[in-house]
Amino acid sequence: MTRKAIYPGSFDPVTLGHFDIIKRSSEVVDHLTVAVLDNPRKIELFSFQERFDMLKKITAGLPNVDVDFFKGLLVDYASAKNTRVIIKGLRAISDFEFEFQMALVNQRLDPKIETLFMMTNSEYAHLSSSIVKEVASLDGDISHMVPPELHEIIVNKIKAKNNGG
């Protein structure tokens, strides 16, 4: 049996915390799909294509990882991909309540799908996409928060946004 898993998220933008979960998950499954939520109703800073391309870039060196997108219910997407495992990262107790609720809803919607939680690396416990956007928009240093190959793209995008772009 091939052990496949899906790591879903908005990734607006992807952080070193996300990348750490991607890398560690890819080491314990045969194949990992990083799935970007394409939700036209949610306003993100980075376009769907930009978020997808950033993930492609940082996972290029991980042979058993691919990047995909999904719309609609996560369990429907997982089921269509014949994948039973969803991986979620947990940073703090504050994450737990909402993740617990989502996992229970997903369990109700499709009992075949299992949500597995992976604890953050303590080095990244303070990180989130929102924190990255907040710090960068105030000209703070985000180099310890995002993958180095994305640093410039992310800083430029946030600067452009600040300048009304």
- By CB under 6 A, name the binding residues for ligand PNS: 8-10, 37, 73-74, 102, 105-106
Question: CB 165 → ligand PNS: shortest distance, Å?
Answer: 23
Q: Nearest 5 degrees, angle CA 39-CA 88-CA 95?
A: 90
Amino acid in position 147: P
In the residue annotation, 144 being an active-site residue is answered as no
Q: Which is nearer to ligand PNS, 37 or 158 (CB)?
A: 37
In the residue annotation, 108 being an active-site residue is answered as no
Question: CB 133 → ligand PNS: shortest distance, Å?
Answer: 13
Looking at the DSSP assignment, which residues form a beta bridge with residue 68? 35
Task: Report the alpha-carbon distance of residue 24 to residue 65 in Å, rounded.
Answer: 11
Q: Which is nearer to ligand PNS, 28 or 109 (CB)?
A: 109
- For tokens 């990047």, the residue is 67
**Strand ranges (E), 44-84:** 65-70
Q: Catalytic: which of 51, 91, 133, 157?
A: 91
Query: Which residues form the catalytic set?
Result: 18, 42, 91, 129
